[in-house]
């Protein structure tokens, strides 16, 4: 039957008998040869489910193609399940897609692997995702010290290294729920993320070992917490979520503050802020774009080691540094405006991302939440 459907594959399989006609049981040397090719392609992969697809022959519509190949696919699937215990066909969400071309060459496409977790970033000198040096297109040059990056290593790279090593994957994509500036810290429970691993050979990973290897490389720069396997839907959920966030801003003021500074700062709670694209990002965000964002909570913590501390919970997409300074009138109202004193954000910490990812359900790792108040905060030196 195989050669009846794909007669051009006869030289590859070195079959001399006449092909069968119709859709008779797909047995014989051609069937066995194709089965062995498929098993050989599957050998490197860990899988529980698979699906087999055949390239459509010329002149076949979809219905005819399915009608002609159904018996062959069923027979191959049953034989693969018999030869590899614990695997079975899955047409909806297979671990591996087996593709048979018209010349009967076989290839396999493993489904991506998705790992969900949170990260804390303690350093103000590393980014969350790789920051490619575009002048050399990431290939490395004297300007970037042959790293291909403008700064780093990033959390994505530090995590991808052990994941790719243990999974045998080819590359990763890092999907985080927003991102903080490189010079901002991500504290509290951490920022949810999904790491997407392309073409993994292994799908069962020792996740505790992954976190240990990450920590060995990252040291005190960052942490990864609650790492676990998740789904494609979790990736979509992270990318589409618009979560409120709580920030702590360390502020330098150009002059003495009014006696009622705490009350003025608290009065920002509930206000809607009109923000134009900040000057520092308008080269990539576009000039003149306006956005309205709401300040949900506003707390004045006073002076700590010579710096003023302000905390605010804001809607997703709020530029908090500009919410402090006003950005030359491009953000209104701003903290500087309500205090009546020019201010700048000397350092910024993300204290909480107010969103619980779907993989943190029953049996998830318990991640400590941040404290509510910070009456005695040390000035962050790194």
Mean pLDDT of all residues in 31-51: 94
In the chain, residues under CATH classification 3.30.70.3190 are: 244-354
Q: What is the pLDDT of residue 28?
A: 54
Distance CA 324, CA 322 (A): 5
Mean pLDDT of all residues in 50-60: 85
Mean pLDDT of all residues in 189-211: 96
- Residues 40 and 30 sit within 8 Å (Cβ to Cβ): no
pLDDT at 47 over 60: yes
In the chain, residues under CATH classification 3.30.2300.10 are: 2-110
| pTM reported for the whole predicted model | 0.84
pLDDT at 378 over 50: no
pLDDT tens, position by position, 64-118: 888 888 888 999 999 999 999 999 999 999 999 999 998 889 999 999 999 999 9
User: Which has more confidence, 371 or 272?
Assistant: 272
pLDDT confidence tier of residue 371, bands split at 50, 70 and 90: very low
Mean pLDDT of all residues in 137-153: 70
Mean pLDDT of all residues in 131-146: 70
User: Which has more confidence, 10 or 149?
Assistant: 149
pLDDT at 14 over 50: no
What's the mean pLDDT when you consider all of the chain? 85
pLDDT tens, position by position, 239-272: 999 999 999 999 999 999 999 999 999 999 999 9
Q: What is the pLDDT of residue 180?
A: 93
Catalytic residues: 181
Mean pLDDT of all residues in 130-148: 70
Q: Which 3-state string (H, E, C) describes the chain? A: CHHHHCHHHHHHHCCCCCCCCCCCCCCCHHHHHHHHHHHHHHCCCCCCEEEEEECCCCCCCHHHHHHHHHHHHHHHHHHHHHHCCCCEECCCCCCEEEEECCCCCEEEEECCEEEEEEEEECCCCCCCCCEECCCCCCCCCHHHCCCCEEECCCHHHHHHHHHHHHHCCCEEEEEECCCCCCCEEEEEEEEEEEEEEECCCCCCCCHHHHHHHHHHHHCCCEEEEEEEEECHHHHHHHHHCCCEEEEEEEEEECCCCCCCHHHHHHCCCCCEEEEECCCCCHHHHCCCCEEEEEEEEEEEEEEECCEEEEEEEECCCCCHHHHHHCHHHCEECCHHHHHCCCEEEEEEEEEEEECCCCCCCCCCCCCCCCCCCCCCCCCCCC
pLDDT tens, position by position, 282-304: 656 556 678 999 999 999 999 88
Mean pLDDT of all residues in 26-54: 88
Mean pLDDT of all residues in 169-190: 95
Mean pLDDT of all residues in 31-43: 93
CATH number at 2-110: 3.30.2300.10
User: Which has more confidence, 136 or 129?
Assistant: 129
User: Spelled out in words, what is the top-level CATH class assigned to the domain 113-240?
Assistant: alpha beta
Of 38-52, 59-73, 226-240, 276-290, least confident by mean pLDDT is 276-290
Share of the chain above pLDDT 90, in %: 67
User: Which has more confidence, 369 or 80?
Assistant: 80
Any idea which fold 244-354 has?
Answer: Alpha-Beta Plaits (3.30.70)
pLDDT confidence tier of residue 372, bands split at 50, 70 and 90: very low
In the chain, residues under CATH classification 3.30.70.2510 are: 113-240
């Amino acid at each position: 039957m195989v050669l009846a459907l794909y007669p051009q594959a006869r030289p590859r399989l070195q079959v001399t008998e006449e092909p069968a006609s119709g859709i008779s049981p797909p047995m014989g040397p051609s069937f066995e040869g194709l089965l062995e090719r498929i098993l050989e392609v599957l050998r490197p992969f860990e899988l529980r489910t698979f699906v087999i697809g055949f390239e459509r022959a010329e002149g076949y519509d979809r219905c005819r193609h399915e009608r002609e190949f159904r018996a062959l696919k069923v027979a191959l699937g049953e034989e693969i399940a018999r030869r590899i215990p614990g695997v079975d066909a899955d047409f909806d969400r297979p671990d591996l897609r087996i593709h048979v071309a018209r010349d009967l060459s076989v290839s396999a496409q493993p489904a991506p692997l998705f790992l969900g977790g949170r990260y804390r970033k303690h350093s103000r000198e590393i980014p969350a995702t790789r920051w490619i040096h575009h002048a050399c297109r990431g290939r490395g040059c004297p300007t970037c010290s042959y790293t291909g990056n403008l700064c780093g290593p990033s959390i994505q790279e530090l995590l991808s290294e052990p994941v790719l090593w243990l999974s045998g994957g080819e590359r990763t994509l890092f999907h985080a729920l927003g991102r903080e500036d490189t010079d901002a810290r991500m504290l509290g429970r951490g920022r949810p993320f999904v790491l997407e691993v392309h073409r993994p050979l292994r799908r069962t990973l020792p996740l505790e070992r992954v976190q240990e290897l990450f920590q060995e490389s990252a040291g005190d720069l960052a942490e990864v917490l609650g790492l676990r396997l998740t789904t494609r839907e979790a990736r979509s959920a992270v990318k589409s979520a618009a979560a409120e966030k709580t920030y702590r801003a360390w502020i330098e003021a150009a002059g003495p503050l009014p006696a009622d500074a705490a009350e003025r700062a608290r009065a920002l709670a509930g206000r809607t802020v009109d923000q134009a694209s900040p000057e520092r990002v308008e080269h990539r965000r576009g000039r003149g774009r306006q956005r309205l964002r709401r300040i949900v909570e506003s707390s004045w913590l006073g002076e700590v080691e010579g710096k003023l501390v302000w905390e605010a919970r804001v809607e997703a997409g709020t530029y908090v540094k500009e919410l402090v300074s006003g950005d030359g009138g491009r953000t209104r109202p701003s903290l500087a405006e309500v205090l009546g004193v020019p201010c700048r954000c000397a350092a910024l910490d993300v204290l909480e991302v107010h969103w619980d990812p779907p993989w943190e359900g029953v049996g998830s790792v318990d991640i400590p939440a941040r404290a509510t108040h910070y009456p005695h905060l040390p000035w962050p030196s790194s």
